[in-house]
Amino acid sequence: MTQPATETNQIKDRNNNVLSLAQVDAFQRNGYHFPLRALSTEQALAYRKRLETSESAVGGALRGSLRAKPHLLFTWANELIRLPKVIDAVEDILGPNLLAWSSSFFIKDAHDPSFVSWHQDSTYWGLSHPDVVTAWIALSVSEVENGAMRVIPGSHLKDQLPHQDTFAENNLLTRGQEVAVEVNTDDAVDIELQPGEFSLHHVRLVHGSDPNDSDQRRIGYAIRYIPTYVKQTVGPRDCATLVRGVDTYHHFDPEIVPKADMDPEAVAFHKRVTDESNQVLYRGTDKRNPK
Ligand code: NI
């Protein structure tokens, strides 16, 4: 972490939330931690139902621009970025002042060929520090058979690696980006989760996932948390939602909370925000819109 370790340790002394110091150390060493529980099985099922109701309302899966920052469009997604158990765990790693910077769904239907190539999240996000933790919340079982996330332990310590864009059709990433160096998949760990459980991973951890070979739909919601001192360094002014503590830096504009699912003000705000963030995510290419 770029922020002095002593600051995190002092915070830990004051407020030991979810992770033990040994678990925080393991996260720093390995770049990930799982499983933790965010929701009961019943609560996870209820959120899955609300997601699937919204999918029906918009005429199908949350594709294209609807995949990015759905917490700006749907009340249930806005609740999911604020789950106390998730934020407690993130606070143990990143400290007490936290923004939810982004969120997106990683959904693979039964026998869906969608996959995620090996990559580091930090590659195109334009953020000033590698102090970004993703909480990946499972709203279904996520296991090897239906394309669970896989990670390479310790790979976050390698700094930023070169990536190449593929724009491969079934790749769930914006540019189909993949690390341009050899990945030793013998070392990969499968992040298997039950509904309501979540994993944490570091922004530079090399990770990916395979297609869904099963009859079960796989649903994950990835939420990206940053401390308030992080800045957007590329493109227009960015926005984020303060989910814990105070923001004395004001590097990000505050976000609007949807009053109802797809309310017109929320839809207009989401469109403006995702149009701007696409300029960052697709910079240097001729692409402007997600699949
Ligand atoms: Ni990723």
Q: Give the H or E element holding residue 34.
A: strand 32-37
Q: Which residues neighbour 30 within 8 Å (Cβ) at sequence distance 6 or greater?
A: 153, 154
Strand 133-138, strand 197-202: pairing: antiparallel
Strand 149-151, strand 218-227: pairing: unpaired
* Whole-number pLDDT of residue 17: 78
**pLDDT per residue rounded down to tens, the chain (291 residues):** 444 444 444 444 445 579 999 999 999 999 999 999 999 999 999 999 999 999 999 988 888 788 899 999 999 999 999 999 999 999 999 999 999 999 999 999 999 999 999 999 988 888 999 999 999 999 999 999 999 999 999 999 988 888 988 888 888 887 888 988 888 889 999 999 999 999 999 999 999 999 999 999 999 999 999 999 999 998 778 999 999 999 999 999 999 999 999 999 999 999 999 888 877 777 777 665 554
* Whole-number pLDDT of residue 7: 44
Q: Return the amino acid letter for 134.
A: T
284, two tokens: 């240097």
* Whole-number pLDDT of residue 16: 58
Q: How far is the CA of 124 from the centre of ligand 1 (A)?
A: 11
72, two tokens: 């700006």
Q: How far is the CA of 116 from the centre of ligand 1 (A)?
A: 8
Return the DSSP state at 240.
E
Residues by chain with Cβ below 5 Å of ion ligand 1: 121
* Whole-number pLDDT of residue 288: 56
Q: Which residues neighbour 60 within 8 Å (Cβ) at sequence distance 6 or greater?
A: none
* Whole-number pLDDT of residue 9: 42
* Whole-number pLDDT of residue 10: 43
Q: How far is the CA of 207 from the centre of ligand 1 (A)?
A: 6
* Whole-number pLDDT of residue 154: 95
